[in-house]
A and B are shown apart, each in its own frame.
Chain A
Amino acid sequence: MSLFWIFIHHLAEVQTMATSKKLITKQEWEKKLADVKVRKEEMNKLVMNFLVTEGYVEAAEKFRLESGTEPDIDLATITDRMAVKKAVQSGNVVDAIEKVNDLNPEILDTNPQLFFHLQQQRLIELIRDGKVEEALEFAQEELAPRGEENQSFLEELERTVALLAFEDVTNCPVRDLLDISQRLKTASEVNAAILTSQSHEKDPKLPSLLKMLVWAQNQLDEKATYPRINDLSTAALEDPAV
């Protein structure tokens, strides 16, 4: 977050100086940037945070050895979390549920919405595999009671069961449920819940830092002309258009 505040601080300085649009040359800008001190350790932490949150265990391990940055979470738990995520992504929901419960039995007990979504995904997978009878039985035994407990679950359940009513599911109004994106949605919901249970942020910090950079630039655009970063992947400073 410190990078961002340094930026805001600059912004405020520029604001007080300029009544009309101020021009800042690349040279001036780079000089100002050179005055900004960012500690290497903090940069490393940001990178580690990204690797850990996104689940790149091997990269995180290598980065730890190379940079000496300690991850804020036990790397072994990342492997477990990734295994859960992967199980959902490949449609193996029962396996995923068992793994989550091994990891922390509280997650699904205290998160009825997530539990319902996993069960719903299991139903979707049964329907996908053409196991109609099993799907019906499962919907009745496992999902119907959840629908009784919660109005919005009931609506989602009805939508899912509707898949069984169509001959050609590829062309029905609820076909999106069979999409791979539905699996990804469920997987990321599980991922976020596990991260939260480990006192970890659900999202890496790096993307939000970039978002703040873009926002700050947009603010600054109204007050000044300056070397802008247009391509985030290269972070090249473009010459200000005079």
Chain B
Amino acid sequence: MPTSSASNHSSHPEDLIGRLNSAHTPYEVKLKALRDLKNQIIGNRTKKLAFLKLGAVNSVVSILSSAVVAGGWENREFYELVLVQCAAIIGSFACGLEEGVNAVLDAGAFPLLLNLITHINDKVADAGARSLKLIYQSKRAPEYDFLQEKNMEFLLSLLNSKNENVSGLGANIITHSCQTTLEQNTLSEAGVIERLVGLLRGSLIQRDASLESLASMIYGNPEVASKFLSPENGRALSVVVELIKDKQPRTRMLACMCLIYLRNASTSYLQDSEIKNKLVMILLELLDDPGQVGDEAPFVLSSLISQKEDMQKIAYDADVVDKLCENLNIFSFQPTRLQGTFLALADLCSKLECCRDRVIHLKVFKFVTEALAHDNPHVRSAACYFLRNVSRSVKNLSAGQFMNEAVAAPLVQLLFDSNESVQIAALGAISNVVVDFTAHKSLFMQFGGVKQLVQLSKSMESAIRINAVWALKNLAFLVNNKCKEEILLELTISTLSSLISDPEASVQEQALALVRNLVDGTLNSIDYVFGENGLLLHAIGKQLWSTSKVEVLIQGMYTLSNVASGNELHKEAVMDQLFPKTINDKETVLVMFMQSADSRLRTAAVWALVNLTFPSSPGACGRVTKLQNAGIVCQLKNIVNDPCLDVKLRARTALGQLIMFGDAS
């Protein structure tokens, strides 16, 4: 059938797919229909979704597979045209559309495309490589196993290819699948770095692909970083340094990323102030990019400044905070941009008070409120992360900047979020926000925060339990008894005691710290641990005798210390835990704690001694005898000159008190 009449066919989606699927349609007409389909979907998300629903991917993949076979027999050139169109369509479905990637993978296109890249016709190889590259941009693409020798050989053959799309694909595969240190080292040993360095001097596609995969190989790996910088790679570093000034914004960004990962991998590279300033200035400019580069730039910025106070200061001085806040306004409809911007702001606010002040001055809180309720879970998490860091500002916290209705209400809502990582991020934010010195804690309770925190403290997911108990602990910090009672009423003593005995040590630690905060303060609050026949006290005592985790022991000892500061009954109850009847009367965990290598545990133990032997209390004498029998005096003498001043001071006080009761030799 001549092509001119084929153009009379309807290009309505259903008809188009019908023609592709029909066994009676001649291949010439199918080729025309394929081109038509391609031109309809490229750049057009709506059309892609519509055709996906009609099963277009399956139709195209089956034409592709039959064309591969048919082309082997006859009319090779014609079938090559079909292959090119099919590959282009498959690639377009996979481009920027997760549903598309899924459909393409489910239809079994992947192995077919892999076969195309070794095709003798360069145009076919090009089309196959392009499609695979687009698939590899998605996280859903299959992981490439570099550890298999055959795979590594194939990868190297890709990287060596003269076809820029094929060698670029090789680099893209590394970017996608290289994650572990073992994979990084294996690639490096196979000589991949040298090849990637070679590609840095190639075409735009090769350069960008190479920069990105170099970054993924260097990330967190000092060994690979130093191999990259070794003389055998010539002036590789200076090539990358040149590329941060490239005309293409994407190249600039990827080159920055490479340098940042290099300097993060080891503190001995790229630490001079010139490169620091340059990186900040270039990323600052890239934040203005309206497209994908601008979406990704805040994440790269975050990797530059995260955990690095000096870099945060440089960024602050370059007005990066202002630029990011401005972008919250301009790009408020772009989720990736919002996520990255909040992450970068969070990093800036992690340490420097000036950044926190600036952010508050620029009134970003209305964006925070919106972001906390955003459709996209990543945006919600990022907003929480930001809130957590900005609320580290004691000054602004005590001024009640954070605990207002606009923040508290959506934040409490996030505790009900269906996404676990959002819940964890929200708990992190709440933990900081509730450490509030004013009366604002009640606001949090009003919104039902306590109830939900308690629910989450019973979660199956340990990360959620830890964070929930952490938040409760901070909520219980320096509050009045009314608040404490409300927390306990909701939580119940039995739940709290099972949290103390949680399988996760970090949960135990936080639960003990929560009890420590609850019993801190008035005599009445000490009574909380005596409810339900001293269930909590027993749980604490049991942990002290069984766990080896020093953090847990510290919190446990401080809790007992707080209890021992109470009345006679309280002190005796602590003694019962330290000298349990089931164990030899003369042995106590205290001796072990006082010999601990951790000065914090030594301090906590000696504090308890000070409180137990306080001279004016009537039962002190009996307790002193018991302690002396257990050899405490000898232990105390060992630490009166402790290198830790805290230990030294408390040990002397305790020893003084013990001596007052007579024979302390």
Contact of A196 with B by CB under 8 A:
yes
**A24-41 to B contact mask, C-beta < 8 Å, 1/0:** 000000000000000000
8 closest cross-chain pairs (CB), A and B: A115-B43, A199-B204, A199-B203, A108-B43, A105-B88, A145-B46, A109-B95, A108-B42
**B240-276 to A contact mask, C-beta < 8 Å, 1/0:** 0000000110000000000000000000000000000
A112 vs B38: C-alpha distance in the bound complex, in angstroms? 16
B contact residues around A111 at 8 Å (CB): 43
**B36-74 to A contact mask, C-beta < 8 Å, 1/0:** 001100111110000000000000000000000000000
- Give B72-89 interface residues, CB cut-off 8 Å to A: 88
Q: Interface residues, chain B, CB within 8 Å of chain A? A: 35, 38-39, 42-46, 88, 91-92, 95-96, 127, 130, 134, 164, 203-205, 207, 247-248, 290-291, 333
B contact residues around A149 at 8 Å (CB): 45
A150 vs B331: C-alpha distance in the bound complex, in angstroms? 10
A197 vs B164: C-alpha distance in the bound complex, in angstroms? 11
Chain A min CB distance to B165 (Å): 9
Contact of B38 among A105, A145, A199 (CB under 8 A): A105
Chain A min CB distance to B49 (Å): 10
Across the A-B interface, how many residue pairs have beta carbons closer than 8 Å?
A: 56
Contact of A113 with B by CB under 8 A:
yes
Chain B min CB distance to A121 (Å): 14
A150 vs B205: C-alpha distance in the bound complex, in angstroms? 27
Q: Are A105 and B248 in contact (CB under 8 A)?
A: no
A contact residues around B35 at 8 Å (CB): 98
Chain B min CB distance to A232 (Å): 24
A104 vs B130: C-alpha distance in the bound complex, in angstroms? 9
Q: A113-B291, A201-B247 are in contact. Are A105 and B42 (CB under 8 A)?
A: yes
17 additional A-B residue pairs with CB within 8 Å, beyond A105-B127, A109-B92, A201-B247: A98-B39, A101-B38, A101-B42, A104-B130, A105-B88, A105-B92, A106-B91, A106-B130, A106-B134, A108-B42, A112-B43, A113-B290, A149-B45, A196-B204, A197-B204, A199-B203, A199-B204
Q: Are A105 and B130 in contact (CB under 8 A)?
A: yes
A107 vs B519: C-alpha distance in the bound complex, in angstroms? 66
A97 vs B43: C-alpha distance in the bound complex, in angstroms? 10
B contact residues around A97 at 8 Å (CB): 39, 42
A136 vs B297: C-alpha distance in the bound complex, in angstroms? 38
A109 vs B95: C-alpha distance in the bound complex, in angstroms? 7
Contact of A142 with B by CB under 8 A:
yes
B contact residues around A105 at 8 Å (CB): 38, 42, 88, 91-92, 127, 130
Contact of A110 with B by CB under 8 A:
yes
Binding site secondary structure of chain A? helix
A contact residues around B127 at 8 Å (CB): 105
Contact of A151 with B by CB under 8 A:
yes
A110 vs B39: C-alpha distance in the bound complex, in angstroms? 14
A109 vs B290: C-alpha distance in the bound complex, in angstroms? 16
B contact residues around A201 at 8 Å (CB): 247
B contact residues around A106 at 8 Å (CB): 91, 95, 130, 134
Q: Are B248 and A196 in contact (CB under 8 A)?
A: yes
Contact of A151 among B46, B92, B333 (CB under 8 A): B333
* 12 chain-A/chain-B pairs, Cβ below 8 angstroms: A105-B91, A105-B130, A106-B134, A108-B42, A109-B42, A109-B91, A110-B96, A112-B43, A113-B290, A145-B44, A152-B290, A199-B204
Residue of A nearest to B95 (CB): A109
A contact residues around B95 at 8 Å (CB): 106, 109-110
Q: Interface residues, chain A, CB within 8 Å of chain B? A: 97-98, 101, 104-106, 108-113, 115, 142, 145, 149-152, 196-197, 199, 201
Residue from B38, B43, B92, B130 whose CB has the most chain A CB atoms within 10 Å: B43
A101 vs B130: C-alpha distance in the bound complex, in angstroms? 13
Q: Are A101 and B39 in contact (CB under 8 A)?
A: yes
Chain A min CB distance to B394 (Å): 39
A105 vs B88: C-alpha distance in the bound complex, in angstroms? 6
A230 vs B575: C-alpha distance in the bound complex, in angstroms? 99
A contact residues around B96 at 8 Å (CB): 109-110
B contact residues around A150 at 8 Å (CB): 333
Residue from A98, A101, A108, A112 whose CB has the most chain B CB atoms within 10 Å: A101
A111 vs B205: C-alpha distance in the bound complex, in angstroms? 15
Chain B min CB distance to A87 (Å): 13
Chain B min CB distance to A83 (Å): 16
Chain B min CB distance to A48 (Å): 18
Chain A min CB distance to B19 (Å): 18
A contact residues around B248 at 8 Å (CB): 196
A197 vs B45: C-alpha distance in the bound complex, in angstroms? 21
A98 vs B35: C-alpha distance in the bound complex, in angstroms? 8
Q: A105-B91, A109-B92, A109-B96 are in contact. Are A145 and B333 (CB under 8 A)?
A: no
A contact residues around B204 at 8 Å (CB): 196-197, 199
A213 vs B527: C-alpha distance in the bound complex, in angstroms? 86
B contact residues around A151 at 8 Å (CB): 333
B contact residues around A112 at 8 Å (CB): 43, 291
Q: Are B88 and A101 in contact (CB under 8 A)?
A: yes
Chain A min CB distance to B288 (Å): 14
B contact residues around A196 at 8 Å (CB): 204, 248
A115 vs B91: C-alpha distance in the bound complex, in angstroms? 17
Residue of B nearest to A94 (CB): B39
Chain B min CB distance to A104 (Å): 8
A75 vs B552: C-alpha distance in the bound complex, in angstroms? 73
Q: Are B43 and A109 in contact (CB under 8 A)?
A: yes
A112 vs B205: C-alpha distance in the bound complex, in angstroms? 19
Chain B min CB distance to A99 (Å): 10
A142 vs B45: C-alpha distance in the bound complex, in angstroms? 10
Chain A min CB distance to B213 (Å): 18
Residue of A nearest to B205 (CB): A199
A90 vs B137: C-alpha distance in the bound complex, in angstroms? 36
Residue of A nearest to B35 (CB): A98
A97 vs B42: C-alpha distance in the bound complex, in angstroms? 9
A174 vs B510: C-alpha distance in the bound complex, in angstroms? 65
A contact residues around B42 at 8 Å (CB): 97, 101, 105, 108-109, 115
Q: A106-B95, A109-B92 are in contact. Are A142 and B205 (CB under 8 A)?
A: no
A219 vs B35: C-alpha distance in the bound complex, in angstroms? 56
A109 vs B205: C-alpha distance in the bound complex, in angstroms? 16
B contact residues around A113 at 8 Å (CB): 290-291
Chain B min CB distance to A113 (Å): 7
A149 vs B333: C-alpha distance in the bound complex, in angstroms? 9
